[in-house]
Structure 1
């Protein structure tokens, strides 16, 4: 099969189209003929040598895909959605998505939502698994001191994670605010459902969210920045608020006033998804199928695809992601794997 390999750690140019042996599904896994692969920030970190695959995972990049089940064992134990050979699925995986074929735990495969193309479906798993497990499971949006009236601030609202979080929280009835770095990106966030998008280059997000919440602050912040943002984010939280960190684009260290955390009952938490167990991911998949897939199939939530590139142009996809120009997802098309 054709695959995109990281020949050495470095810039986008180290991504190379190669021939690889077909993967062999293990117990509980299926073989998927890949139609499209989503591109995500962790892929960039892996390419640079900063995010190694977990033990046993493929060394190829790629954490999400869409395609057709063509092999493996479809046993009832690992098949809660009744998938069959030949079904179109989208899947979350720990590595190996940049290839024509991938072996994936069956429990991490979801049926492609009705009406979606493979390109659209490939943009879903990584961001929806991440947002659901962090905003709704870990940070418990809607279940804190603010109850059903809780609010969410999404840092980096125009990213793949951001456009997912905005749409999902808004569709579930919550007020959502977002930050972005240009007027165009702010407009996109508001069109997707953010009540107010804040240009972090010209506005203070703490002041803006305080003004929009009668000085109360927001209940949950989804943060991909960390670093120096954390003290300001604590100031932007309402009493009892939760800050959930999913990336460290601004750095891994921060100085915080723990007295404020104690006095105001704040929670600082975070997680990464890639190394979690198949059992954990299966539970998230079940939640998505029950609560989120109907919203996608009804059109209330839509995939946001910024650009589709032929798979052999993975290096251009990574360069585009690192440029920060994109709004939404970047996807590789394996029907064009020259």
Structure 2
């Protein structure tokens, strides 16, 4: 059998960055409908840190390999169907995974998950696109259904998804407000036409009551908690509150996430406004064709320079624990990317 020996990062137990270990494994020939991929770059998100610590609802078992997004080269594939012209050994692809596993030198993936990389697009830049920007598209198009001229509030606008929402929202002609507190946040958001609200010094409800007395058309939230009620109150009649994540207490993140999701669903029973939950891994599995179209569209936009994700740092894959530590200490501004070194 043509096996490949490779290394990957494994979380052996829930805990701190020290729980991540490098292990050696073998990868057999791809089963029908799959391809073996040599990973070139993997994006790192705060979801990975939550999963490692045991605070992520969709990753409740150890051991596991973190990471939801990667760019790689096709080694070989197995299909009885006529493959598309781009599907060939050596072709570069981007992938948003439906379950974690990107911190690895090689992976075996279903063919339907592979999206060809546009010519000339840097794999490191491409690795910053899938999860944050697919989430942003889900929030804007699938659930928010916003149109040019609509007023929106982006909670945590300086984060990964917040910046993706700002980029894509600016291209759509939205009137945007964003809460943030990170140093340089105001300048960062201004590049995309977002009016900055410093949530540590300003009450966003008070600010929006003055600037948008009729209310905003949508609020995009990843925080949850008491702020959900305030976010709902600033909505215009017919407006929508879209939640795509929930912050919580350390050690209670899973319970707080479930509680937050239930609160959003109950709020949707009230007349006059609506609420929605964006869950991208489930949406990818439920609409494979739509996933490929959306990710392909985003990669084309990145190749043309229409969206410009900011790479905060690039580390070798085997130093993933250092990246997690740096992210927890807020030492990295922008997206962190892991690259393979062989």
TM-score, L = length of structure 1: 0.86
SS in structure 2 at match of 1:149: coil
Question: Would you say 1:30 and 2:38 are equivalent positions?
Answer: no
Q: 1:237 aligns with which of 230, 235, 255?
A: 235
Measure the CA separation in 1 of the matches of 2:338 and 2:177: 30
- Greater displacement, 127-136 / 203-212: 203-212
Report matched runs for 1:94-109 at 5 Å.
Answer: 94-109=99-114
Deviation at residue 261 of structure 1 after TM alignment: 6.8
Corresponding position of 2:303: 297
Deviation at residue 76 of structure 1 after TM alignment: 5.4
Measure the CA separation in 2 of the matches of 1:164 and 1:114: 22
CA deviation vs aligned residue, 1:206-262 (integer Å, no higher than 9, x gap): 22233333x122212221100111011112222111111111114444678x79973
Instruction: Give the CA RMSD over aligned residues.
Output: 2.9
Measure the CA separation in 2 of the matches of 1:324 and 1:207: 29
Number of positions where the alignment pairs a residue of Structure 1 with one of Structure 2: 326
- Structure 1: which 5+ residue stretches go unaligned? 143-147
Q: 2:226 aligns with which of 221, 225, 228?
A: 228
Report if aligned partners of 1:310, 1:334 keep a CA contact under 8 Å in 2: yes
Q: 1:329 aligns with which of 328, 335, 338?
A: 335
Question: Would you say 1:86 and 2:85 are equivalent positions?
Answer: no
Distance 1:298 1:276, change over 3 A: closer
Corresponding position of 1:172: 172
Question: Would you say 1:138 and 2:143 are equivalent positions?
Answer: yes
Corresponding position of 1:145: none
Q: 1:128 aligns with which of 115, 128, 133?
A: 133
Measure the CA separation in 1 of the matches of 2:189 and 2:151: 16
Measure the CA separation in 1 of the matches of 2:60 and 2:288: 17
Report matched runs for 1:50-89 at 5 Å.
Answer: 50-51=55-56, 59-73=64-78, 82-89=86-93
Report if aligned partners of 1:88, 1:111 keep a CA contact under 8 Å in 2: yes
TM-score, L = length of structure 2: 0.85
Distance 1:324 1:24, change over 3 A: farther
Report if aligned partners of 2:268, 2:275 keep a CA contact under 8 Å in 1: no
Measure the CA separation in 1 of the matches of 2:76 and 2:211: 52
Question: Would you say 1:266 and 2:264 are equivalent positions?
Answer: no
